[in-house]
């Protein structure tokens, strides 16, 4: 969604919310007799306009959750965020973030679930992160402590890499390690982001013991 579209959606959400609020405050202040006109006005203020505000703000909210700034707004993601926006950084994540296809949505593009129910599953996972942040103790953690104890719940799925790197091109197949590990890569027994392969996506977050987990 372009910034212009987001701007328009935000405008519609705010204007319809303001109009609805005006109607509700007018009713609370005046308390007019409940005739047909007042009922229709209240339907506008409690039904039509709030529904419009809710729909547009939901689309905007869902779009906001895909932006890197959104992921980086929790302090435990500071290092990941700084690395992704650093033009000199050479980590796998930083190099992908500089790619216009990933751009400002680089966290989402790499970490979203791409299965049939990928979108709701990704959003549910995000809700889990928010729960952990506010109620699970992440909020009180120092960044250093967070880097040591917060990890992906499941091993990173190579399928996410293969959304772009299809593994069917001749360039990919020409690499001896690729063809030798084709089965292991397809079954996630070996990660694309392993040490010795393409390296961890966020190497600063890896202790030597964790090494190859992306």
Partner 1 sequence: MTVLAYWAKRTVPGLLKGACVLGLVALALVVTSVLLPRPLFVILAMSVGHGVGAAALACYVLAVILDSGQRTRAPDSKP
- Give the shortest CB-65-to-partner 1 separation in angstroms: 6
3-state SS assignment for residue 176: helix
Q: Which is nearer to partner 1, 3 or 174 (CB)?
A: 3
CA distances (Å), 117 to each of 38, 67, 113, 124, in order?
44, 20, 8, 11
Q: Which is nearer to partner 1, 74 or 159 (CB)?
A: 74
Q: Which is nearer to partner 1, 108 or 172 (CB)?
A: 108
Contact (CB, 8 A) for 126 and 65: yes
Q: Which is nearer to partner 1, 65 or 212 (CB)?
A: 65
**Gap between the Cα atoms of 66 and 24, Å rounded:** 34
**Gap between the Cα atoms of 183 and 186, Å rounded:** 5
- Give the shortest CB-55-to-partner 1 separation in angstroms: 10
**Gap between the Cα atoms of 19 and 21, Å rounded:** 5
Residue 23 CA neighbour count, 13 Å, CB half: 19
Which stretches of the chain bind partner 1, using CB under 8 A?
A: 10, 13-14, 17, 20-21, 24-25, 27-28, 31, 34, 39, 42-43, 45-47, 50, 53-54, 57-58, 60-61, 64-65, 70, 73-74, 126-127, 129-130, 133-134
- Give the shortest CB-204-to-partner 1 separation in angstroms: 23
Q: Which is nearer to partner 1, 14 or 175 (CB)?
A: 14
- Give the shortest CB-171-to-partner 1 separation in angstroms: 39
């Amino acid at each position: 969604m372009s910034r212009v579209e987001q701007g328009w959606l935000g405008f519609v959400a705010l204007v319809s919310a303001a109009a609805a609020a005006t109607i509700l405050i007018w009713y609370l202040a005046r308390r007019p007799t409940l005739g047909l006109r007042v009922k229709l006005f209240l339907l506008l203020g409690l039904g039509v306009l709030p529904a419009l505000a809710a729909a547009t703000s939901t689309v905007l909210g869902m779009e906001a959750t895909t932006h890197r700034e959104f992921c980086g707004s929790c302090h435990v993601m500071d290092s990941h965020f700084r690395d992704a926006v650093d033009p000199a950084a050479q980590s796998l994540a930083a190099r992908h973030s500089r790619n216009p296809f990933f751009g400002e949505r680089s966290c989402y593009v790499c970490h979203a679930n791409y299965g049939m129910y990928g979108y709701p599953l990704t959003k549910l996972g995000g809700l889990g992160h928010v729960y952990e942040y506010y109620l699970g103790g992440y909020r009180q953690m120092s960044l250093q402590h967070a880097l040591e104890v917060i990890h992906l719940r499941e091993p990173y799925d190579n399928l996410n890499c293969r959304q772009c790197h299809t593994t069917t091109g001749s360039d990919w197949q020409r690499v001896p390690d690729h063809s030798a590990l084709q089965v292991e890569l397809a079954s996630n027994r070996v990660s694309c982001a392993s040490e010795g392969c393409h390296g961890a996506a966020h190497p600063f977050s890896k202790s030597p013991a964790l090494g190859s987990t992306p």
